[in-house]
Amino acid sequence: MKILTSKSSKQTHNLGMALGQNISQGISIALIGDLGAGKTTFVQGLARGLCVSEKYYITSPTYTIINEYPAGLFTLCHLDLYRLGSADELEYIGFDDLVDDTHIMVVEWPQILKDVLFSFDLEINFKFDEHYNRIISFFASGQPGSNLLDKLVL
């Protein structure tokens, strides 16, 4: 586990970029935090770290459920599962097609996947402290997540 403090959106962005620069295989990442906690800002940085072209503006997929971006040998899949009513809907959005070595899957509001016992390689929690700094906690599950956290140096 690693815990970092971000005092600005730029720091949150840079943290995502640093993580993205160290990803070398398909991986699944859960993002947990309230609205406005910095999840999408983090993904914007992650995308830049993965060399997603600047021509793509990274937005939250609140209404589209999934946004996909070419990232070199990978595809960055940014999911927002807030609007799904049940795990049965995962089939309709093509979730199973995203679980392989060519996809980097980043999921906001991942609870529905946890309910079906989907195992994320990395879970990142975003909380505010009393000074409105973001406290960002990283929890690895399995070797890919542990290896990625070991590489993350800030």
pLDDT tens digits, one per residue of 101-111: 899 999 999 99
- pLDDT value at residue 154: 61
Mean pLDDT across the chain, nearest whole number?
91
Domain ranges of the chain: 2-151
- CA dist 105 and 99 (Å) reads 8
Which helix (H) or strand (E) is 49 found in, with range? helix 39-49
Q: Pairing relation of β-strands 134-140 and 66-71?
A: unpaired
H helix runs in 50-129, sequence order: 89-92, 111-115
105 three-state secondary structure: strand
- CATH number of this structure's domain 2-151, picked from the four choices 3.30.479.30, 3.30.420.40, 3.40.50.620, 3.40.50.300: 3.40.50.300
pLDDT tens digits, one per residue of 43-81: 999 999 999 999 999 998 988 999 999 998 999 999 999
**Residue 125's pLDDT band (boundaries 50, 70, 90)?**
very high
The identity of residue 129, as a single letter, is: D
Is a pLDDT exceeding 90 seen at residue 20?
A: yes
With a pLDDT cut of 70, the percent of the chain lying above it is 99
